[in-house]
Structure 1
């Protein structure tokens, strides 16, 4: 096994250090990207993107590379450090936003909050504020989120399917009038020809995506990618087998969801329960 190299003279930023190690190890072994892909079973373009810093890949890829190069857990450790870097999350999210704008169709599962493409300005403001964002940064992020909704406008807008957990609809905004507008917005969006909204009732119990916010993107070249997110981090999933596994989970959840027409009735019943503002 090659000895661990001293970090002196090497980048101390986790993502850049990971990229440097990938390039150096492949050069030392004399592999081409194509050879690496053939040996490890992933598309060679993935390794090229990892070496250029466009993506981190997955822990499984890092582990396979460690085994290939005989570096024990060096690359996996660097991957974990880079994945936990908050600046890396921002970079991944920017990459996701670019791909979202190119997608031909999108499908989403919401665990506890409504998807950004369906949020009103008030909902986005309350959600981002709860996350500790304030001042000019809050204004900027709310404007950016509301601006994303234009993605679903126009004759060439992508198809969008949103499956909402009942929990997301049982967590209202503090102001009843703002929550009413949000539910009305969901109903309006559900009438669009390119938007399908479904609800998964709590009574179905645990399922494959119980704690996983997931958005799938089908790109013009035919690839499908997934963005998986928690409240604190997110990951762009590109490896085919991992995406297919997530898609199977999504299909199973879709089978549990109410049909679109029944989902609409469910949201309308919730809207009827929202107290009216006595001043109106």
Structure 2
């Protein structure tokens, strides 16, 4: 009979286990957080947040720690498990939503769909339904998305810049009338003093965000965080080095985009191509 495995007493929850392992490895090494930061070359405060479970950092950070501790792929594997845990995705997204509400400025790049705070009810309903959401959950999520629109309303609304790939404006809804309403709403939003809209046209070439939706949030304490998303996964990024790399990619995209004035004209041309709702 094979010997029984010892029970370690460590958490079976991926994010908590990741944090426990980080604390354990640093304790064995005898480093302070500042010493660890100096040795690995990352901001020491990030490691404190990772050990407290506030963030899981990035895969690059986990790889660097694996090299430092001599634990090949251990931390990277635990990071992947923590990043892929659906319950943790919900927790991270709730944290992102809280930060979004506190942001003093926001800037965004969209690959295929409009940002939630610019979506109409009809647009949000069709997009969320396409993702498999139905019934009461669909109603709840649409209403929550409509609530996010209030963030950009009012005299004290934060500045918001969105760069939209042309594909966003070429991917219409099945309901043509709702698509017309969405384009009208977008054209109106582009006239707001706190909102800057730019379009990245087809033919602009490849760039660092070619497959990545990203939202940057400037917080009242001066920090900037980012949230990246694709069809199957979203990630809140708080580590300053990773955010800076994303910002450099965003700046390159902005250089390729049409000016705000030309972008408004682009949206108006799209609106003219879509028939209005039929009169009754």
TM-score range normalised by the length of the shorter chain: over 0.9
Summarize the alignment of residues 144-223 of structure 1 with structure 2, pairs less than 5 Å apart: 144-223=144-223
**What CA RMSD, in Å, does the superposition of the two structures yield over aligned residues?**
1.5
After the TM superposition, which residues 40-55 of structure 1 pair with which residues of structure 2 at under 5 Å, given as runs? 40-55=40-55
Give the alignment's TM-score, normalised by structure 2: 0.94
Post-superposition shift, 1:7? 5.9
Cα drift, residue 239 of structure 1? 2.1
Would you say 1:225 and 2:236 are equivalent positions? no
2:103–2:217 Cα contact (<8 Å) kept: yes
TM-score, normalised on structure 1? 0.94
| Separation of aligned partners in 2, 1:65 and 1:270 | 50
Secondary structure in 2 matching 1:191: coil
Secondary structure at the aligned position of 2:231 is classed as coil
| Structure 1 unpaired stretches of 5+ | none
Moved over 3 A (4+): 5-8
3-state DSSP of counterpart to 2:197: strand
Q: Does 1:245 find its partner at 2:238?
A: no
CA deviation vs aligned residue, 1:81-126 (integer Å, no higher than 9, x gap) = 1111111211111111111111111110000001111100111111
Partner of residue 95, structure 1: 95
Paired with 2:236 and 2:98, the residues of 1 have a C-alpha distance of 12
* Residues 138-192 of structure 1: CA deviation (Å, up to 9, x unaligned): 1111111110111112222110000011100111111111001100110111111
Q: Give the Cα separation in 2 of the matches to 1:164 and 1:232.
A: 20
* 8 Å contact kept, 2:58–2:242: no
Q: CA deviation at 1:6?
A: 5.8
Equivalent residue number for residue 137 of structure 2: 137
Residue 276 of structure 2 corresponds to 276
Q: Structure 1 32/188 Cα, relative in aligned 2: closer, same or farther at 3 Å?
A: same
**Long gaps (5+) in structure 2:** none
Tell me, in whole angstroms, the C-alpha distance in 2 between the residues paired with 1:41 and 1:205: 34
